[in-house]
Amino acid sequence: MALITLRRNVCHLPAFWIHGAALKNQPINHVHKAVKGHHLCPWFCSQPPELFRVRFRHACCKKFHSENGNDPHPVGEPVYSQVRDWDRLEQNLKNEDEQLFIRRLNGFTSSEEVLSFISTMETLPDAVAAGALQRICEVEKKGGDRRLPKDILENSLFQALCFQFEQEPSHLSNTSLVAALHSLILLHVDPQSNLLLNLVAECQDRLKRGGLEVHNLCILGESLIRLQGPDCVTLELILYQLQGEKLETFTPEDIVALYRILQACAEKMDQHQTFLNKINNFSLSIVYSLSPKLISQMLTALVALDQTQALPLVIKLGKYVVRHITHFTNEELGRVLEAFIYFGHSDRFFTQALEQYVTTLSLTLDPEVVSKIMEYCSRKLILSKPIFDAVAESFVCQTEKFSPSQVSKLIEPFGKLNYLPPNASALFRKLENMLFTHFNYFPPKTLLGLLHSCSLIERHPVNFMAKIFSPFFLQRLQGEESYLDRLSLARLTQLFLTSVLECHFYKGPKLLPNFRVRSFLTPCCSLETPMDFQLYKSVMVGLIDLLGARLYFASKVLTPYCYTIDVEIKLDEEGFVLPFMVDEDVHQRVALCIDGPKRFCPNSKHLLGKEAIKQRHLQLLGYEVVQIPYHEIDMLKSRLELVEYLQRKLFSQRSGDHWQEG
């Protein structure tokens, strides 16, 4: 085990080349020996280099034995006291093992505490020295991805640590070597400095000799990705060696680190897919031992690597997400939800856990997490009233914390899933105030989607219709494209139809005809749900029995108002059913909405927002809307019951209605 002798190196440290201001340490009564040809390359700062003689007066310079027979102790301090303190420290080092020191390092919350701790030691095991660098990196990174503060850079002990790593990397253990390299890279050391060049060269030499263990290979791989990018040649050698190891020898942390390495090489996944398949299968056996952080990282890597064939692993990870949901950080939970959205994963246990989590912490949740939770519910069509109510309350209480994109992700699910929370008045009042204040900050498509979703649940954006129908907004919406996308045109058209049918007091500009669509039912980006074919076949058989012939009803009828009617039946003034090809003497049109499961929120009888607005608009256009939901058809046990059911639905309110004989 190599030992870094701090007192000797600090008190006999050669001159350093560094950037920035001179160190403000007071000189001590000792002649520093200059070592010719050695200097510390500029790593951290960007100012032009200036030459400074580094002199230290440090705690560890006050207590040490002189090896050349001189008496280097400060004037006025008894030599005996120094020797006694020194002997005590040496004894302490013998009595306490390295792991204890590492645990003590991990308890510190600032770089100053770390440096103060190691300053009490004359010799420092390389593992503890590497641990000190790692802890400095951890505590500094908590404040964001930034460089080290100037006072740490200029700290004599920190410089001595780095100098020793630069000069004697061959004396370090494998673990200390890769840990030091990883920490220094995270601290933004100059990649061309002697310090990093020496450490990288030593790592490469040991790698070629096959002397690095699995854990160290994983750390080295991630370090080189940060330093040189995923295309570095050494990374291929690391992956080659890792593929030769038995996965049973990997710890859970190593497996997740391996996922992160492969994630960085996602563009080369064709070369590593076979290896990745083995990792996916093996990971099923270690899911139980993963921490929330590791679960989040594994799911993120699976998304980046497009591992749609690894659904058994995703499902098993989902089960453990339920157990750990309260222990995820906001960022980790957001990544978990992103992964579930990507893989289409959901289950009632996760929904229940999410409900409890949100209702408990709704007023303290990060806005990004709130919007991500609502996006997840929207994508999976999960109408969870506890979640929606808690999120609505959160938005009302802290509206100013939400960005435009977060507001859109939060509000749109209410319209999509056709739900108004108990505080709907306060919610939409807050939303309207925010739109008045920050209208121009919303991206055009985001704003259009937000306002359209409000109209689905009869919260019509009347005060903003004039703006979104204006040529200026439409030009912004189109951007640099030669035409508007189909979904945007459909939303604009439905908003225009809403202004005509449901907002009679709106007198602003109308939507120009060239921005209107002819049909809301399209193969993609549709504002209507296609009819369930099997359900339609069942209903059609009953209608033929009831009406006597197929000619008395039409299917998939496109109206002049963009909506497609599943089944249309025409009645004359006396209530007789007319053949569907007849257009004269039509007094009443009956629109049958044959609503299959996809038109409802899953496992419920609650219509989606786009189906609710369709039925509402058809009624306003003069149609008699008759809803035929799948859950009522499923209750019927015979063809006779089906005919009687349709008889009640169509004619029970109009006893004088009849149909023509064919």
**Segment 159-189, tens digit of pLDDT:** 777 777 787 788 888 888 888 888 888 878 7
Q: Could you report the per-residue pLDDT of 125-153, keeping only the tens digit for each?
A: 777 777 777 788 777 776 555 567 777 77
pLDDT at 479 over 80: yes
At 385 the three-state DSSP class reads: helix
In the structure, what pLDDT confidence band is assigned to residue 35 with cuts at 50, 70 and 90? very low
Q: Which amino acid is at 561?
A: Y
Q: List the structure tokens of 410.
A: 């939060």
- Tell me the pLDDT of the chain averaged across its residues: 82
Q: What is the pLDDT of residues 390-411, one digit of tens each?
A: 999 999 999 999 999 999 999 9
Q: Give the chain's end-to-end CA distance (angstroms, integer).
A: 100
Q: What pLDDT does residue 64 have?
A: 33
- Across 348-362, 373-387, 544-558, 644-658, least confident range: 644-658
Give the pLDDT of residue 214. 92
In this prediction, residue 73 carries a pLDDT of: 43
What pLDDT score does 39 carry? 38
User: Whose structure tokens read 């939901």?
Assistant: 629
- Residue by residue, what is the 3-state secondary structure of 108-148? CCCHHHHHHHHCCCCEEEHHHHHHHHHHHHHHHHCCCCCCC
pLDDT exceeds cutoff 90 at 313: yes
Give pLDDT, residue 659: 46
Structural contact between residues 626 and 590, judged by C-beta atoms closer than 8 angstroms: yes
Task: Answer yes or no: is pLDDT of 206 > 80.
Answer: yes
Q: Which pLDDT score, from 0 to 100, does residue 514 have?
A: 92
Place of tokens 């109308």: 510
Q: Could you tell me which residues come within 8 angstroms of residue 33 by beta carbon, excluding any fewer than 6 positions away?
A: 12, 14
Mean pLDDT of 439-455: 95
Task: Tell the burial category of 613 from Cβ atoms under 10 Å away from its Cβ (0-12, 13-18, 19+).
Answer: buried
Domain coordinates in residue numbering, the chain: 3-208, 460-517, 533-659
Q: What is the pLDDT of residue 662?
A: 39
Give 644's pLDDT tier (boundaries 50, 70, 90). Answer: very high
What is the arithmetic mean of pLDDT over 345-362? 92
What angle (nearest 5°) sits at the alpha carbon of residue 315, between those of residues 339 and 256? 65
pLDDT tens-digit map of 257-300: 999 999 998 888 788 899 999 999 999 999 999 999 999 999 99
Q: What is the mean pLDDT of residues 22-42?
A: 35
The pLDDT value given to residue 145: 52
pLDDT interval class at 340 (50, 70, 90): very high
Q: Which of 263-272, 351-360, 516-525 has the highest mean pLDDT?
A: 351-360
For 600-640, how does the pLDDT look when each residue is reduced to its tens digit (9 = 90+)? 999 899 999 999 999 999 999 999 999 999 999 999 999 99
Q: Which of 72-76, 77-81, 193-197, 492-496 has the highest mean pLDDT?
A: 492-496
Q: How confident is the model at residue 48 (pLDDT cuts 50, 70, 90)?
A: very low
Q: What is the pTM of this model?
A: 0.77
Given this model, what pLDDT does residue 654 score?
A: 55
